[in-house]
Amino acid sequence: MITIAAVGDLVLDEPNPASFFAPSAPILREADVAIGHIEVPHSYATIQSSTDVPAPPADPEALTAVAEAGFDVVTLAGNHFFDVGTEGVLDTIEYSRKAGLITAGGGASLAAAKAPAIIERSGTRVGVLSYNCVGPKDSWAASQKAGAAYVKVLTHYELESATPGGPPTIYTFVAPESQLAMQRDIRTLREEVDVVVVALHKGIGHTPAILADYERPLSHAAIDAGADVVIGHHAHIMRGIEWYKGAPIFHGLGNFVTVTRALTPVGGDSAERMEWAARRVRMFGFAPDPDMPTYPFHPESRNTIIATTTFHGGRLASAGFVPCWIDTEGIPHPHGDDETGRGVAVYVEKISRAVGFDTVFEWCGHRVLTWAGDRELERA
């Protein structure tokens, strides 16, 4: 029996990063494999390379705190991975590996970026693949360009009334050849390992509950190709939990340790970040809490989880999560079946119901188990 734990976005852009993991480290270290997503480059490079809203690079030494907190694998495929160019990509990989972390989703070429992270525990081989689904194209690796592994998602705007300039209906879907390429990667990995985890950097940011059109079909395609678990991140707010063909999909794990002053209205150190901080208020309808200067995110994003799955002989035995609440300092605190933990669990169920999932949730000790349909899972 092995346990895999996973969390969402990690941004370590404040001093003493280890302190932000102190409450959660015992749970992460207890897992056989712990996975987190590195959201920004960790590099000494400073020259902006992305045409998207750039995130400042974080201190490479902060990755040591990630490893010491109990993480084994870090996924890198995300929209900020190329923000400071090739140097940032290579530095992030180098310093992650120096810290003892196994990386997936980024590399000096597309082939390297698509290479899985593989780790063995108690005779079970676990493979992790990581893909960026949200762009920008600058972040994508190519045959001779560093960057992230990716899945190409297309957006179509349809004006539904005779009102030029009026609000359109928005449709999103995965480019077929890109989905097939991801599925080929999964099938290849399936032959090499006992458990396949696919991480997708996807979704609409800073907006409660909503899933874009492409998110469910893409997640289902990953499972159809052989994935045992799909985990999502990027939106900086949680998404619901779905079951498909006996496999769990954590559509969005939200924030975990995400501390930065770069996106506060008074803390941005570039014109682009300052403009984005103001535009984000108009787009998403919330302003960051001025009493949380290192946590400029949606108030509901303080609900978060440590997703857990257990496997016996390479087969899924159970899936669930440990509820966590992010305090005013940006520190996630795990909670069991107490008032705060129950509040987070209710939130996860609410956003799951909001998009039509019939997922079952049930407390078992310090975590919430989840399942759907007639699949019988070990409740342990």
Residue range 278-334, pLDDT digits in tens: 777 777 878 788 889 999 999 999 999 999 999 999 999 999 999 999 999 999 999
Residue 379 lies in a domain: no
Nearest to 11 by CA among 39, 45, 44, 35: 39
Does residue 309 sit in helix, strand or coil? strand
Residue 147 lies in a domain: yes
For position 266, what pLDDT does the model report? Answer: 55
Residue 59 lies in a domain: yes
Residue 355 lies in a domain: yes
Which domain does 357 fall in, by range? 2-371
* Strand 2-12 with 303-312, pairing: antiparallel
Q: Where are the strands (E) in the chain, listed by range?
A: 2-12, 33-38, 73-75, 102-104, 106-107, 117-121, 124-132, 147-148, 153-158, 169-174, 195-202, 229-234, 241-244, 247-250, 255-259, 303-312, 315-326, 332-334, 360-364, 367-371
**Taking the model in full, what pTM does it have?**
0.95
For position 379, what pLDDT does the model report? Answer: 36
Which residue, chain included where needed, has tokens 């996630």? 332
Residue 377 lies in a domain: no
For position 376, what pLDDT does the model report? Answer: 43
Residue 28 lies in a domain: yes
The structural domain count of the chain equals 1
Instruction: Give the tokens for residue 165.
Output: 């300039």
* Strand 33-38 with 73-75, pairing: parallel
Residue 145 lies in a domain: yes
For position 55, what pLDDT does the model report? Answer: 80
For position 180, what pLDDT does the model report? Answer: 98
Which CATH number does the domain housing residue 215 bear? Answer: 3.60.21.10
For position 373, what pLDDT does the model report? Answer: 58
Helix 176-190 crosses helix 215-224 at what angle (to 10 degrees)?
30
Q: Which residues of the chain have pLDDT under 50?
A: 376-380
Instruction: Give the tokens for residue 169.
Output: 């209906």
Residue 380 lies in a domain: no
